[in-house]
A and B are shown apart, each in its own frame.
Chain A
């Protein structure tokens, strides 16, 4: 009797019934709930979608690093969220202490204000990307490379250790300090609202009822993300290095037989992923203007979930997963309650692992030779 029940439950888990049932119920419930609210107040709904898009695009940039690194070394790089934090911090100091965003105005006083701010902001983002790339390659060389042939769990635990190191090293008083720091953007926020056409919202004024708000920050986040995504896609699909990355992800010994410097390719992968996380750090800080040594943990975890949802190892998967995560979170926060956003994120992780551990785009793990 006892035995029979066990095998029944076993079968249910194996057939993933529980997960699928749960998923169906939740999706129906969510569609009904959100749909209902959307019909009653379409402006609010569209506003949520826009906010979710902003968050989703930032998650996408972080998630790509998780997925690329996993694809090539089968490591969940838990220090990735902290690299994102360093990216935000670097831009904070670049703008706050060194006024890097003002260099074009200083060097070419004749330039129109808009152009010089644009170049200045791009410089800040590029600096964060570069420093994060260097940091990640250093981490990889020191902490992960010696464990290349060790059991996977060793590298995973090391990644957690590196994560703690970055956080608490960052918390030192002469590094980033343990305080919450108000972030200074390189540019002023400009907000528009859509209600009978597009209007600029005067600073300090309350937005009108029923208007849909969006800011220059949203546009910048989307533009930068799309640009970086296109560049990454180009690198991975079209360049020799990108093809070598895919070859090495598939089969390292054979890649070496072809003369590919696999260690170098792995470093480049870490560098690319970290550069994207660095850019994400800057964008995230401009959207939620507060930086602190722990700020990488939650966005890092959410982006990790996004990568798992999309199918870890898959680049389009990371993007799609991140957009879904952004929407799910913002809708949960807007329509249920703010603390629900984290609960929703982690429920998604559990559901994915129950129903389809390989994610949306994932393929079943291939046996490695």
Chain B
């Protein structure tokens, strides 16, 4: 098992945002976490990334307890996040944004290989490498956010709503690339509100509702589950 989350409880002050959630990701999988607004998806990712601390519960990555590991160390261990809303460094160029993604990397050749890989996945970024991040279109910013996370050469990539605000064609493109990245050996935890898309690329999925996991299973099973269909796939 690559990542295991055990009985995680996270609070924002008095708000009990994650109420004892447990799930796991195997090596090579795409696992999706779907749920409505405020279900606790971003909270889950930020706890794994180490910028939120749980009140109880554990995060285990490659048999190592990383619950209290500092965020920068977690990146070094092989988990990187592309956050919700992209969070591009607007005042840095595209290239500099990518370099920041590689902040924990010290091997120049390794960094260059990652850069080539990102440019192969997102040729648009190569064309715009000297442009300021803030001047990119929404779709390009999403590509940059994913590319930036890939620059740390992660074993586990956390993606928070990569489809947000993108046109259907672009969503299709981004999800194809997500599958490609996975095919090259990176495991992915994909957070989405677009359950249809997410389940179509993921191997397994978990459904999060107000801080609790209410359903889990193979993507195909979840897609055929009437409850999921009703709540998340827009069926009536």
A-to-B contact residues, CB < 8 Å = 240, 243-244, 246-247, 249-251, 253-261, 369
Please tell me if the beta carbons of A255 and B51 are within 8 angstroms of each other in the complex: no
Please tell me if the beta carbons of B51 and A257 are within 8 angstroms of each other in the complex: yes
B167 at the interface (CB under 8 A from A): no
B203 at the interface (CB under 8 A from A): no
Which residues of the other chain, A, contact B87 by a CB distance below 8 angstroms?
A: 251, 253-254, 257, 369
The 3 nearest A-B residue pairs measured at CB? A259-B75, A259-B104, A254-B87
B83 at the interface (CB under 8 A from A): yes
Q: Please give the number of chain B residues whose Cβ is less than 8 angstroms from any Cβ of chain A in the complex.
A: 25
A and B contact pairs by CB, cutoff 8 A, 6 listed: A255-B89, A256-B71, A257-B83, A258-B100, A259-B71, A260-B72
Task: Considering the complex, give the chain B residue whose CB is closest to the CB of A243.
Answer: B96
A255 to B74, CA, bound (A): 13
Q: CB within 8 A of B92: which of A250, A253, A259, A369?
A: A250
Known: A246-B92, A253-B83, A369-B87. 20 other contacts (CB 8 A): A240-B99, A243-B92, A243-B99, A246-B91, A247-B92, A247-B96, A250-B90, A251-B87, A256-B51, A256-B71, A257-B71, A257-B80, A257-B83, A257-B87, A258-B75, A258-B80, A258-B100, A258-B152, A259-B76, A260-B103
Which residues of the other chain, A, contact B92 by a CB distance below 8 angstroms?
A: 243, 246-247, 250
Interface string of B162-182 (1 = CB under 8 A from A): 000000000000000000000
Most buried by A among B74, B90, B91, B100: B100
Which residues of the other chain, A, contact B211 by a CB distance below 8 angstroms?
A: none
Which residues of the other chain, A, contact B75 by a CB distance below 8 angstroms?
A: 257-259
Please tell me if the beta carbons of A259 and B152 are within 8 angstroms of each other in the complex: yes
Scan residues 58-101 of chain B and give those whose CB is less than 8 A from a CB of chain A. 71-72, 74-76, 80-81, 83, 85, 87, 89-92, 96, 99-101
A201, chain B: closest CB distance, angstroms: 49
A243 to B99, CA, bound (A): 8
Which residues of the other chain, B, contact A247 by a CB distance below 8 angstroms?
A: 89, 92, 96, 100
B187, chain A: closest CB distance, angstroms: 18
Please tell me if the beta carbons of A251 and B89 are within 8 angstroms of each other in the complex: yes
Please tell me if the beta carbons of A259 and B91 are within 8 angstroms of each other in the complex: no
A51 to B45, CA, bound (A): 58
A257 to B79, CA, bound (A): 9
B148 at the interface (CB under 8 A from A): yes
Please tell me if the beta carbons of A261 and B89 are within 8 angstroms of each other in the complex: no
B233, chain A: closest CB distance, angstroms: 30
A254 to B100, CA, bound (A): 10
B49 at the interface (CB under 8 A from A): yes
Please tell me if the beta carbons of B103 and A240 are within 8 angstroms of each other in the complex: yes
Which residues of the other chain, B, contact A249 by a CB distance below 8 angstroms?
A: 91
A246 to B99, CA, bound (A): 12
A211 to B154, CA, bound (A): 68
A229, chain B: closest CB distance, angstroms: 20
- Given A256-B72, A258-B152, A259-B75, the answer on whether A369 and B85 have CB atoms closer than 8 Å is yes
Task: Considering the complex, give the chain A residue whose CB is closest to the CB of B101.
Answer: A258
Which residues of the other chain, A, contact B96 by a CB distance below 8 angstroms?
A: 243, 246-247
A246 to B81, CA, bound (A): 20
- Given A244-B103, A258-B148, the answer on whether A253 and B89 have CB atoms closer than 8 Å is no
Most buried by B among A249, A255, A258, A369: A258
Task: Considering the complex, give the chain A residue whose CB is closest to the CB of B76.
Answer: A259
Which residues of the other chain, A, contact B103 by a CB distance below 8 angstroms?
A: 240, 244, 258-260
Which residues of the other chain, A, contact B152 by a CB distance below 8 angstroms?
A: 258-259
Q: CB within 8 A of B89: which of A240, A250, A256, A369?
A: A250
Which residues of the other chain, A, contact B91 by a CB distance below 8 angstroms?
A: 246, 249-250
Which residues of the other chain, B, contact A259 by a CB distance below 8 angstroms?
A: 71-72, 74-76, 80, 103-104, 152
Task: Considering the complex, give the chain A residue whose CB is closest to the CB of B75.
Answer: A259
Most buried by B among A243, A244, A255, A369: A243
Which residues of the other chain, B, contact A257 by a CB distance below 8 angstroms?
A: 49, 51, 71, 75, 80-81, 83, 87
B151, chain A: closest CB distance, angstroms: 8
Which residues of the other chain, A, contact B89 by a CB distance below 8 angstroms?
A: 246-247, 250-251, 254-255
A256 to B52, CA, bound (A): 11
Which residues of the other chain, A, contact B50 by a CB distance below 8 angstroms?
A: 256
Most buried by A among B49, B90, B96, B148: B96
B88, chain A: closest CB distance, angstroms: 8
A247 to B101, CA, bound (A): 11
Task: Considering the complex, give the chain A residue whose CB is closest to the CB of B87.
Answer: A254
Task: Considering the complex, give the chain B residue whose CB is closest to the CB of A259.
Answer: B75
A260 to B103, CA, bound (A): 6
Scan residues 17-35 of chain B and give those whose CB is less than 8 A from a CB of chain A. none
Which residues of the other chain, B, contact A246 by a CB distance below 8 angstroms?
A: 89, 91-92, 96
